[in-house]
Amino acid sequence: MQGKDLLQLAEQFGTPIYVYDAEKIQSQYNRLTKAFSKVDKLRINYAMKALSNVAILKLLKEMGSGLDTVSIQEVLLGLHAGYEPDKIFYTPNGVSLEEIEEVAAMGVQINIDNLSILEQFGTKYPNVPVCIRINPHVMAGGNANISVGHIDSKFGISVHQLPHLVRIVENTHMNIVGIHMHTGSDILDIEVFLYAAEILFDAARNFKNLEFLDFGSGFKVPYKKDDIETDIEELGKKLSKRFNSFCAEYGKDLTLIFEPGKFLVSEAGFFLAKVNVVKQTTSTVFAGIDSGFNHLIRPMFYGSQHYIENISHPKGKERFYSVVGYICETDTFANNRKIAEIKEGDILCFRNAGAYCFSMSSNYNSRYKPAEVLWIHGEGHLIRAHETFEDLLRNQIPLPETVATV
Ligand SMILES: *Cc1c(COP(=O)(O)O)cnc(C)c1O
């Protein structure tokens, strides 16, 4: 996608707006499957919490992707998008037994991540195929908030609890068909990932009826120029070889599963916002846009650095700006960032706005959520309308007039 296409979409649909490039999602999907082409049975389950618009779900379904979900509502959205239940994985954390039962009854593959629920579920439904989420306690994340493998993490069943886990499985005669791990976002070191994989193989040797091993995700994508990213091709080469030798040892061709979110959709996304005001203070030049952390919270929540470009005047002389939002709280998108000279009314484009951007947006300050556009075959299609005042009032119930409020 080019700057002029984005500018035209901002004009056509208004700002603030998210734009997703279908071709980029496709090329990332193909890149991942190609890297693991030596594995006989490979499955990609798109982690839909990254971006859950139904049009995106359908696009990935067409490519052959399955889904990774974390809530029953995500499961319902997946089914609505046309995914067969057996193409959906459900990997929740801290949800009720009732919700897990409900999802299992739909024929979705459930993944259990604690011993208490495992024992209860196994006792009630020994025949339902279950996957187990292991925590290998390998630190792979770049940020404590997104690293889920550490010892104090609430995710997964600790590998150190394997003896207890095996006992529960034996006592209940439950049907364990898969082992899963997801060590968190931002894998930079492939060796660390391979080390965690060995722990998964070790755990897998305890179960005789496995059908798949799920290695989760955590692939890092570049956020700025010269940023490091997970070397998918190298990981593909090394892990495929190791996986195939494990299958030979296990005596069965298992399915290798990944569940990427960010890798598939991050770079496909662009967030477009208009500059409302350029404000010079004693120390800083602020560019204030028609958005805030209600629409894009990653910079404030995780300290993420989204590359920002002035697509209205890309060739202008570069100056230093702090790009801020209109929320009545400090909401800084970027500090002292070199951007082509900004005039009021210019459109700024934020890169890597596909993953965890719209899906984490809110109505804070009673602002409307942005619209979403899918760019496909050289054309932009609105896939979510801008919100309206009715959306703010939906589900609000006025008190009956008979209730005295003073
Ligand atoms: C969020 C999540 C993912 C996706 O992680 P990315 O870093 O976006 O690839 C995969 N698996 C599980 C269980 C998750 O919770």
In a 13 Å sphere around the CA of 222, the CA atoms on its Cβ side amount to 9
The H-or-E segment that residue 241 falls in is: helix 232-250
Query: Measured from the CB, is residue 260 less than 6 Å from ligand 1?
Result: yes
Query: Measured from the CB, is residue 74 less than 6 Å from ligand 1?
Result: no
Query: Is 368 in contact with 354 (CB distance < 8 Å)?
Result: no
Lowest-confidence segment of 94-103, 147-156, 158-167 by average pLDDT: 147-156
For range 151-167, the mean pLDDT = 90
Q: Ligand 1 pocket test: which of 217, 352, 357 has the largest number of ligand atoms within 8 Å of its C-beta?
A: 217
Query: Measured from the CB, is residue 47 less than 6 Å from ligand 1?
Result: yes
Give the 3-state secondary structure of residue 383. Answer: strand
In this prediction, residue 146 carries a pLDDT of 47
Question: Is the confidence at residue 202, as pLDDT, over 50?
Answer: yes
Query: Measured from the CB, is residue 306 less than 6 Å from ligand 1?
Result: no
Question: Is the confidence at residue 220, as pLDDT, over 90?
Answer: no
In order, the DSSP letters of 70-138 are SSHHHHHHHHHTT--GGGEEE--SS--HHHHHHHHHTT-EEEE--HHHHHHHHHH-TTSEEEEEEE---
Query: Is 261 in contact with 46 (CB distance < 8 Å)?
Result: yes
- Would residue 277 be called left, alpha or beta, if left means φ above 0 and alpha means ψ between -120 and 50 degrees? beta
What would the pLDDT profile of 295-342 be if each residue is shown by its tens digit?
999 999 999 999 999 999 999 999 999 999 999 988 999 999 999 999
User: Nearest-5° angle of CA 180, CA 182, CA 184?
Assistant: 175
Nearest CA to ligand 1 atom 4: 261
Query: Is 323 in contact with 348 (CB distance < 8 Å)?
Result: yes
Residue 378 has what DSSP assignment?
T
The token pair that represents 380 in the structure block: 């932009």
For range 137-158, the mean pLDDT = 67
In this prediction, residue 147 carries a pLDDT of 53
C-alpha 182 to ligand 1 mean position (Å): 7
Query: Is 75 in contact with 103 (CB distance < 8 Å)?
Result: yes
Lowest-confidence segment of 21-30, 153-162, 236-245 by average pLDDT: 153-162
Cα separations (Å) of 94 from 113, 176, 218?
A: 8, 20, 20
Which position has the token pair 């061709």?
Answer: 253
In this prediction, residue 140 carries a pLDDT of 52
Atom of ligand 1 nearest to the CA of 185: 7
Question: Is the confidence at residue 109, as pLDDT, over 80?
Answer: yes
For range 1-19, the mean pLDDT = 96
Beta bridge partners of 346: none
What would the pLDDT profile of 266-286 be if each residue is shown by its tens digit?
999 999 999 999 999 999 999
Give me the catalytic one of 131, 247, 328, 349.
328
Phi, psi of 119 (to 5 degrees): -65, -45
C-alpha 357 to ligand 1 mean position (Å): 14
* Catalytic status, residue 357: no
Which position has the token pair 């509502």?
Answer: 73
C-alpha 180 to ligand 1 mean position (Å): 12
What would the pLDDT profile of 69-98 be if each residue is shown by its tens digit?
999 999 999 999 999 999 999 999 999 999
Q: Please, what is the average pLDDT of the chain?
A: 94
Report the percent of the chain where pLDDT is more than 70: 96
For range 138-162, the mean pLDDT = 71
Query: Measured from the CB, is residue 182 less than 6 Å from ligand 1?
Result: yes
Which position has the token pair 């009720």?
Answer: 96
C-alpha 46 to ligand 1 mean position (Å): 9
Q: Could you tell me the end-to-end alpha-carbon distance of the chain, in angstroms, rounded to an integer?
A: 58
Lowest-confidence segment of 224-238, 258-272, 316-330 by average pLDDT: 224-238
- Would residue 404 be called left, alpha or beta, if left means φ above 0 and alpha means ψ between -120 and 50 degrees? beta
Lowest-confidence segment of 36-40, 76-80, 150-154 by average pLDDT: 150-154
How far is Cα 39 from Cα 237, in angstroms, rounded to an integer? 10
Q: Ligand 1 pocket test: which of 29, 134, 259 has the largest number of ligand atoms within 8 Å of its C-beta?
A: 259
How far is Cα 165 from Cα 244, in angstroms, rounded to an integer? 26
Q: Give the residue among 57, 18, 54, 29 at the shortest CA–CA distance from 269.
A: 18
Does this model's pTM top 0.85?
A: yes
Question: Is the confidence at residue 148, as pLDDT, over 70?
Answer: no
In this prediction, residue 137 carries a pLDDT of 86
What would the pLDDT profile of 363-384 be if each residue is shown by its tens digit?
999 999 999 999 999 999 999 9
C-alpha 92 to ligand 1 mean position (Å): 11
Question: Is the confidence at residue 151, as pLDDT, over 80?
Answer: no
Task: Name every residue whose Cβ is closer than 8 Å to that of residue 268 and which is 6 or more positions away in sequence.
Answer: 20, 21, 22, 24, 25, 28, 354
How far is Cα 96 from Cα 77, in angstroms, rounded to an integer? 19
Query: Measured from the CB, is residue 65 less than 6 Å from ligand 1?
Result: no
Question: Is the confidence at residue 234, as pLDDT, over 70?
Answer: yes
C-alpha 146 to ligand 1 mean position (Å): 9
Question: Is the confidence at residue 11, as pLDDT, over 50?
Answer: yes
Question: Is the confidence at residue 122, as pLDDT, over 70?
Answer: yes
In a 13 Å sphere around the CA of 17, the CA atoms on its Cβ side amount to 26
Confidence of residue 353 (pLDDT cuts 50, 70, 90): very high
Question: Is the confidence at residue 204, as pLDDT, over 50?
Answer: yes
Lowest-confidence segment of 125-134, 216-225, 355-364, 365-374 by average pLDDT: 216-225
In order, the DSSP letters of 277-318 are EEEE-SS-EEEEES--TTT--HHHHH-----EEESSSTTSPE
Question: Is the confidence at residue 152, as pLDDT, over 50?
Answer: yes
In this prediction, residue 224 carries a pLDDT of 81
Q: Ligand 1 pocket test: which of 52, 182, 220, 359 has the largest number of ligand atoms within 8 Å of its C-beta?
A: 182
User: Nearest-5° angle of CA 383, CA 386, CA 392?
Assistant: 130
Atom of ligand 1 nearest to the CA of 146: 7
Task: Name every residue whose Cβ is closer than 8 Å to that of residue 174 and which is 6 or more positions away in sequence.
Answer: 118, 121, 122, 125, 126, 128, 130, 168
Question: Is the confidence at residue 145, as pLDDT, over 50?
Answer: no
Question: Is the confidence at residue 141, as pLDDT, over 60?
Answer: no
How far is Cα 12 from Cα 34, in angstroms, rounded to an integer? 37
Question: Is the confidence at residue 238, as pLDDT, over 70?
Answer: yes
Query: Measured from the CB, is residue 185 less than 6 Å from ligand 1?
Result: yes
User: Nearest-5° angle of CA 397, CA 399, CA 401?
Assistant: 135
Beta bridge partners of 347: 274
In this prediction, residue 218 carries a pLDDT of 85
In this prediction, residue 227 carries a pLDDT of 85
C-alpha 151 to ligand 1 mean position (Å): 18
Question: Is the confidence at residue 153, as pLDDT, over 60?
Answer: yes
